[in-house]
Amino acid sequence: MLGLLGWVPLIPLMGFLILVMAGDQLSRLIISWVGAGSVAVSALLATLIGFEFLDGDMQPYRHIVGSWMTIDDLSVPFGFYLDALSMTMLFVVTGVGFLIHVYSAGFMEDDPGYARFFAYMNLFVSAMLVLVLADNLVLLYLGWEGVGLGSYLLIGFWYDEPNNGYAARKAFVMTRIGDTAMALGLFLLFTQLHTLDIQSLLSLASSQWAPGAVLPVASAALLLGGAVGKSAQLPLQTWLPDAMAGPTPVSALIHAATMVTAGVYLIARTHPLFLLAPTVQLAVAVIGALTLLVAGCSALVQTDIKRILAYSTISQIGYMFLALGVGAWSAAIFHLLTHAFFKALLFLAAGSVISCFHHEHNIFKMGGLRKAMPLTFWSFMIGSAALAALPLTSGYYSKHEILLAAFDASPVLWAVGLLGALITGIYSFRLIFVVFFGAQSQTVEKKPGWLMSVPLLLLAGLALFGGMLQIPLNSVFPVLIDQGNDHTFNLVSVITVASPIIGLLIAVLFYLTGTFSAQRLSDGGLAGTLRQFFLSGWGMDALYETLLVRPFITLSTMNKNDVVDGLYVGVAWLVRGLHRMASATQTGRVRWYGASMVFGAVFIIAIGLLS
Amino acid sequence: MSGIPVELGLLLSLVLFVLGLIGVLVRRNLIMILMSLEVMLNATGLAFIVAGSRWGQADGQIMFLLILTLAAAEVGVGLGLALQIFHRFQTLDADSVNEMRG
């Protein structure tokens, strides 16, 4: 079974090719079977491989699929690497990916671009699988750029709307900034260590480089740049809220469950490098802590249902970065796993709400949906409970682990994470209370069909019980040094559990019972300004607009006619002038030619005589 | 045999050549241009004859025969072209047949 590893990314790629070549001729039923079926087959393969892998004592397995080229004794192999980490990612990508594909078959049923949608989705899944399975940083980079392309195509899926195209370009360019840093990191690693094979690279780095030296710090920082761009962390986070322009299943798959967590995967995959660079690792923790606060505050005041979820995704990935930064590698991957479940659930449930409201995104125009859409309501409840890390849900286990690890590293980071958890509690239940409670504002016309309900049910189950699905990652990561702090019943643990519940109570007071009014609060001068500030994502979009976008547009307007091109235009102009002069002598008058010949002959004879 | 000095012979040839050249450049009728060309060719022929007689060699007269045949061939082609031009343009004016200009 392990030998079939190469087929896991290949089958979605084949699905992509079929849909691209023949998508116009196929009926909608066949398109959905090809689109979701290819991911289903690769999920099935991944499950079989997973069982064999877990039986085989989880020995890392390397599968050489082929080679890029073989010349004499130079061979560039093309291989996949399976260990507990990539296995976890494999489950997330194929499993959650499959459920979202099934959901999409229902969600997109009236869309004219049905085949195009599934083609892009399959391309994305294939690239993501290459990313997580790659045994080589260059192959990983191929998958990395592939998911970037998939993300770009799917954000701009409804391309008739110019804003969607703008959002797609913004996402592409912003992540490209990080990718450039990452490419530089790969170049640095290759020139220094002469290999990009991940396992040998990491062991070489550990044996050759001293902790804290310049080289490991520089290369880890450059890789971190790539991770920050892809995972929408500070300061490159502004693309993710705009990426919500894509269809909702896309937001669930790419901008919540899989692609945006690729940065977390990259850092976890190359964690020995980060262990050699303690300053960079600290930077990872600080970036994560700042991001989770910044994004959490922005999520508090958004009115667009998808933007709330987008900011909460940024904030949750901040938690993962925090965990990576304090060395709780397996907690970070565990949170990645549970986050994929509950955030995909939340997005899909939001998609049901949106599709029943004629693509209305404003939560204050909804209300009282609890009775009308019970399944969606309960999905949202479970998802939000897991997001806020209420006890016994999956998110509780992972976030609790992260916060305790953060406390061991630094109480300040723990306090920031705790504040973030409080804010998470407020905004996730604000969303529920506004959308599902209160007076029913509009009648629901369309109920989600079974294609949309079944994935919701399964994901709700995973979001509830996914906390028990721990794949033992100790074979990959160094075990945290136990400092003898048993947090089971002490004060830190109790506070950590209590903070999201306090957040929930605040949300109840503000949005359910109406004891306090958020409206009245934000009417005040300072609070109103603050609300506007949070709503605009801490003004970072405006900052980038004035600092980078405007000057660039000004420069390119000035250079509209291409200064460098002027040289070549000049050459062409000169040649054309000479040509015109030469052709002017050809008058067609025979006598004129004769006279020219005479004068020429006289001239030449004169030169011959006089010299 | 040496009655006429070679300088006078060459001077006559030069005068004939320049007259022919002026005819080629100044005349507009194609027939007249061809005739002027004949004058120029005969001027060069005369120069060969004079030079041959000066050094007592037969080469000059052989060259003259060559020029004679060349002139006959040239006139054949030239008159043929003139005929075609007249068919097409209904004129023999060399200046009005100037369609091949850049």
A chain contacts of residue B94, beta-carbon cutoff 8 Å = 589-591
Residue position matching structure tokens 């705790």:
A418
- Chain B contact for A520 (CB, 8 A cutoff): no
Mean pLDDT of B27-54: 92
pTM above threshold 0.90: no
pLDDT surpassing 90 at residue A156:
no
The nearest CA of chain B is from the CA of A574 a distance in Å of 18
- What's the confidence (pLDDT) of residue A365? 76
Q: CA A366, CA A388: separation in Å to the nearest integer?
A: 22
Per the CB < 8 Å rule, is B94 touching A595? no
> For residue B70, what are the CA distances in angstroms to A198, A299, B14, B59, B66?
87, 102, 20, 16, 6
Residue A602 contacts B where some CB pair is shorter than 8 Å = no
pLDDT band at A5; cut points 50, 70, 90: confident
Residues of B in contact with A594 (CB under 8 A): 24-25
What distance in Å separates residue B2's CA from the closest CA in chain A? 29
Distance, in angstroms, between B57 CA and closest chain A CA? 27
Chain A residues whose CB is inside 8 A of the B24 CB are: 591, 594
Closest CA to A66 of A8, A11, A127, A6: A6
A282-293 confidence digits (pLDDT tens): 899 999 999 988
Nearest of A347, A133, A352, A119 to residue A255 by alpha carbon: A347
Instruction: Tell me the count of A-B CB pairs closer than 8 A.
Output: 35
> In angstroms, rounded to a whole number, what is the distance separating the alpha carbons of residues A113 and A609?
85
Contact B25 A589 (CB under 8 A): no
Taking alpha carbons only, the member of A303, A247, A522 closest to residue A431 is: A303
| Nearest C-alpha in A relative to B99 | A588
A438 phi/psi in degrees, rounded to 5: 80, -170
B interface mutation test: which of A591, A592, A598, A599 has the most B CBs within 10 A?
Answer: A591
Report the gap between the CA of A595 and the closest CA in chain B (Å): 6
Quote the ipTM score. Answer: 0.84
d(CA A466, CA A346): 15
Mean pLDDT, residues A303-320: 89
Q: Is the pLDDT of residue A510 over 60?
A: yes
Q: Do A588 and B24 touch (CB under 8 A)?
A: no
* Contact status of A585 with chain B (Cβ, < 8 Å): yes
Identify whether the C-beta of residue A114 lies closer than 8 Å to the C-beta of residue A108: yes
Arithmetic mean of pLDDT, A550-578: 88
Chain B CB contacts of A605 below 8 Å = none
% of chain B beyond a pLDDT of 90: 60
> Mean pLDDT throughout A557-571?
85
Euclidean distance between CA atoms A453 and A379, whole angstroms? 10
Q: What is the mean pLDDT of chain A?
A: 85
Three-state DSSP string of A409-454: HCHHHHHHHHHHHHHHHHHHHHHHHHHHCCCCCCCCCCCCCHHHHH
Strand partners of residue A134? A80
Q: Which of A587, A590, A598 sits opposite B21 (nearest CB)?
A: A598
| Shortest Cα distance, chain A CAs vs residue B63, angstroms | 22
Q: Is A207 part of the contact surface with chain B (CB cutoff 8 Å)?
A: no
